[in-house]
Amino acid sequence: MGSGFLKKKRDQRQFSEQLARLGEELKSKEYVGYAPNQLVEIVLTGEKSLKKILIKKDCVNPDDIEGLQDLIKAAYEDAEKKMEGDNPLNSVQGMPFGF
């Protein structure tokens, strides 16, 4: 086996280490999502765990529970979209390790 093989193995190991570090960094981040007019705010961790929900009193109407549910869902989707946009791994999925 020539030095080309050893170089590829070393490059693969370095790439794997970089991916592991990046994964740890992403897990420690928090992503905030908002519903329209910022009536609901949701904070997700990098592992998609729900950390916090803030609901403004203005949107709490006992006769419109479905509206509040929609606002919570919109805030969650906003936070999730920000999280996915921040993940550089989404743009390299499907690439083999050897490039």
Tell me: pLDDT of 96 over 60.
no
pLDDT of residue 92: 55
63 located within any domain: yes
Domain carrying residue 59: 3-90
Residue 10: CATH number of its domain: 3.30.1310.10
Tell me: pLDDT of 20 over 60.
yes
Q: How does pLDDT run across 56-86, given as a tens digit for each residue?
A: 998 888 899 999 999 999 999 999 999 888 7
Comparing 4-13, 28-37, 81-90, the range with the smallest average pLDDT is 81-90
Question: How many structural domains comprise the chain?
Answer: 1
97 located within any domain: no
pLDDT of residue 70: 93
99 located within any domain: no
Both tokens assigned to 18: 């970089």
Contact at 8 Å (CB) between 39 and 74? no
3-state class of 61 per DSSP?
coil
The pTM (predicted TM-score) of the whole model is 0.66
Handedness of CA 17, 22, 23, 24 (dihedral sign): positive
